[in-house]
Structure 1
Amino acid sequence: MTDTHVYDKAKYHYETISQAGLPDAHASNHIVPVFRWLIENDLMSEFFTSEGREPLERYRAGEVSIHELFEWWDTCLISDMISDQGNEFAMAYFDYDRGQYLKDYQRTLVGNLPSEFHVVYSNSNYAKLKRAIDCRYRQWSAKKGKPWWRFW
């Protein structure tokens, strides 16, 4: 990718979080599952793995949380952090306007909560959402090369 694409930044959501009376971490709760999934599936860029080697090692060792690792990156997920293949998938799936990620997130985790920002990040919630992301990735991989609107 030549131009940097911003997938999401926690700061975009601080006002909403504040108005809802939620802790600041909730501004990232909907994006850190994506971030974690990309890391676990080796879809991060060489830039990310080299520039963030130490915090990434600390995360993998269980010394810092996924939120703390995300904070190291200024609570921002951008294309420079993700591999080419990861970006291809992210552009199709994690696009908040056209992709299926927020629908999967809402269907899997939001339930009767007032908004996606009210979801508490936890390992069990991540495990539930991970199954949906894994399924979407398999679908995307099987149809790779077709227009994004034909994925789902």
Structure 2
Amino acid sequence: MKYDDTSWHSGGKFPEDLPPEAGATHTGMFVAWALLSGLAGDVHIEDFPESIPMLRDRTVTPGAFFLSSCDGKFTDEDLNDEGNAFTASYFDFETGKYLCDYGDMLGRQLPELYYVADTWDNFDLLKPIIDQRYANWKAAKD
């Protein structure tokens, strides 16, 4: 199952003054959070053993990581079973709350969410919100 793909964000309402990489930031932030939170699927653990240390060491930004290590595609193979269950309820563009949380925390002063900078400072602002959503989700399922 494919959750997101940067190619879905080009054209249409995508701002002409931004590089295509700006379409990877919102998903890159979530993928980085998931992998750093122990929700990585076998593809990252076995096929790309350097991927988690790159994130942990912050040698690459979340969006750049998503483009280089995931080819700009976020699929169920990127996560383990628990990661996929949480992602299905939280990240879903139609029923989930992720984009609302992302926009509330990082996009309030911006014309579009695509203008959110792909930085670790922004990740650090967003992470506690995702952590809380994940904790609430886990408590509700137990």
Q: TM-score, normalised by structure 2?
A: 0.89
Q: Do the aligned residues in 2 keep the contact of 1:44 with 1:86 (CA within 8 Å)?
A: yes
Deviation at 1:66, TM superposition (A): 3.0
In the alignment, what sits opposite 1:117?
Answer: 114
Please tell me the residue identity of whatever aligns with 2:74: L
CA RMSD, Structure 1 to Structure 2 (Å): 1.9
Structure 2 spans left out of the alignment, 5+ residues:
none
DSSP 3-state at the match of 1:20:
coil
The question of 1:13 aligning with 2:9 is answered yes
In the alignment, what sits opposite 1:142?
Answer: 139
Q: Do the aligned residues in 2 keep the contact of 1:17 with 1:26 (CA within 8 Å)?
A: no
Deviation at 1:58, TM superposition (A): 4.0
Deviations 1:84-136 (A, max 9, x none): 00000000000010000011011111103111111112112111111110110
Q: Percent identity?
A: 28
Which of 48, 55, 60 is the matching residue for 1:52? Answer: 48
How many residues are paired up?
141
Q: Do the aligned residues in 2 keep the contact of 1:93 with 1:100 (CA within 8 Å)?
A: yes
Q: TM-score, normalised by structure 1?
A: 0.83
Structure 1 spans left out of the alignment, 5+ residues:
146-152
Structure 1 26/86 Cα, relative in aligned 2: closer, same or farther at 3 Å? same
Of structures 1 and 2, the larger Rg is shown by 1
Which of 100, 104, 107 is the matching residue for 2:104? Answer: 107
The question of 1:95 aligning with 2:87 is answered no
Q: Do the aligned residues in 1 keep the contact of 2:40 with 2:83 (CA within 8 Å)?
A: yes
In the alignment, what sits opposite 2:130?
Answer: 133
Which of 14, 22, 25 is the matching residue for 1:26? Answer: 22
Deviation at 1:54, TM superposition (A): 3.3
